[in-house]
Amino acid sequence: MSESTPARTVVVTGAATGLGRAFAEAFAAAGDRVIVADIDEAGAQGAADHISRTAAVPAIAVGVDVADRASADALADAAAAAGGSIDVVVNNAAIYATVTRSLFDEIAEAEWDRVMAVNLKGPWQVTRACAPHLADGGRVINVSSATVYSGSAHWAHYVASKAGVIGLTRVLARELGGRGITVNAVAPGFTLTEASEGLLDDAATYGIDRGAIKRAIAPGDIVGAVLFLASPASAFVTGQTLVVDGGRQFI
């Protein structure tokens, strides 16, 4: 795909680091124009610069607070201005590494509200803002978490927010399906990213014993599921949640 005719315009939130950056790099490698969106604008610019040096299509950095309506609108406008329309939205941004682990009745109310604002309100805000610009047959992919199914103790706000993402995914699939737009979720298991490695001393081995495939989960393991849900091969798949955890739990 030449630089002048990119295949699609793809918005990835939380794309400065971790899974989001892995998604952005994979879409760019496929020839898509990627909007690298993150609350860390400098980090987003650094990721976009790297992608632009290594991919055929330049990436565009946009600073965004996904929980803020005006900021989400500005992101959607920037993406539409770059590509004329938006083809894929990956709602990946979330509060994760800084979440305080504590009993449910000891969680600070302000922290609960901020986790919900980013992790659940954020996908709603970004999808709401992008929907008028989404091409018919476009794709929305929301990143949930396999912890929804295991119900990790001491993490009530994070788990609840990611469960809400699954519910939101199903509603959006119903409401956008008339335009041929599919909305699906990916629920990764504990994946070795910069954020995850900072959470646990045994991050490299955590959960391996529970998996059917007994190795750590790498960002690349999640990328394939997202690319599938953004591809023509998944055109009749919507409202679904794809757990990607090497068989640590069967749903």
**DSSP 8-state secondary structure symbol assigned to residue 101:** P
| Per annotation, catalytic residue among 96, 149, 158, 206 | 158
The token pair at 163 is 């469960």
Residue 65 backbone class (left: φ over 0; alpha: ψ -120 to 50; beta: rest): beta
**Treating both helix axes as pointing N-terminal to C-terminal, what angle do 156-176 and 122-130 enclose, rounded to 10 degrees?**
20
Do 196 and 99 contact (CB within 8 A), yes or no?
no
Do 185 and 240 contact (CB within 8 A), yes or no?
yes
Do 72 and 125 contact (CB within 8 A), yes or no?
yes
**DSSP 8-state secondary structure symbol assigned to residue 61:** E
Q: How far apart are CA 216 and CA 208, in angstroms?
A: 6
**DSSP 8-state secondary structure symbol assigned to residue 100:** P
The strand pairing partners of 10, in sequence order, are 34, 88
Please count the other Cβ atoms lying within 10 Å of the Cβ belonging to residue 201. 9
Residue that is written with structure tokens 């040096």 in the block: 53
Q: Is 96 a catalytic residue?
A: no
The strand pairing partners of 113, in sequence order, are none
The token pair at 122 is 């954020």
Do 13 and 126 contact (CB within 8 A), yes or no?
yes
Q: Which residues are catalytic?
A: 158
